[in-house]
Amino acid sequence: MESIISRLPAEFLTVRHDGSRFPGAASVAARPGLGPGANCQVYAYEVLRHFGLRPPELRSSELWDDTESTARVAVADLRPLDLLLYNATERAYGAHVGVWAGDGTVLHLCAEIGRPAVWRPEDFASRERYGVLLGAKRVLAAG
């Protein structure tokens, strides 16, 4: 399975992490896109948009609960562009969002290093803040 990473423009791999730029934030509404930086959710949604999907503008817990625009999928059935939610606990509130890239990897905007990173699931499991995989969500329709 080919990774989506090779099909992304270079600017998707140099985005600066900015935790204040989250879905619904005034800073995102005033200056949309990745240029000013993003949090993990805004980044993941922009990756999906690049590939023609239209994810809802939801925070982690809203995304996890959403059934109108997304569906939960079994981790065993992951496809590229599915969203993965990680947290330190089993709570969806404040969960970190990454994009299944294929080839056993997750693309995410990593606060720890301040830019996008490509990790394997075991890389998340080895870190306390990402140690719990809540599950995966799939955007239901393209825009």
Q: How do the domains of the chain map onto residue ranges? A: 5-139
Q: What's the CA dihedral at 135, 65, 23, 88 to 10 degrees?
A: -40
- The two tokens of residue 25 are 């934030």
Q: Pick the more confident residue, 82 or 142.
A: 82
Q: What is the pLDDT of residues 26-84, one digit of tens each?
A: 988 889 889 999 999 999 999 999 999 999 999 999 999 999 999 999 999 999 999 99
Mean pLDDT on 136-143: 84
Q: Which DSSP string do the residues of 86-134 spell out, in sequence order? A: EESSS--TT-EEEEEEETTEEEEEETTTTEEEEE-HHHHHTSGGG-EEE
pLDDT of residue 142: 61
For residue 63, CA distances in Å to 5, 15, 84, 128 come to 23, 22, 11, 22
Q: Does domain 5-139 have CATH number 3.30.43.10?
A: no
Token output for 90? 């089993």
* Percent of the chain clearing pLDDT 70 (strictly above): 97
| pLDDT given at position 1 | 47
Other beta carbons within 10 angstroms of residue 10's beta carbon come to 6
pLDDT on residue 2: 61
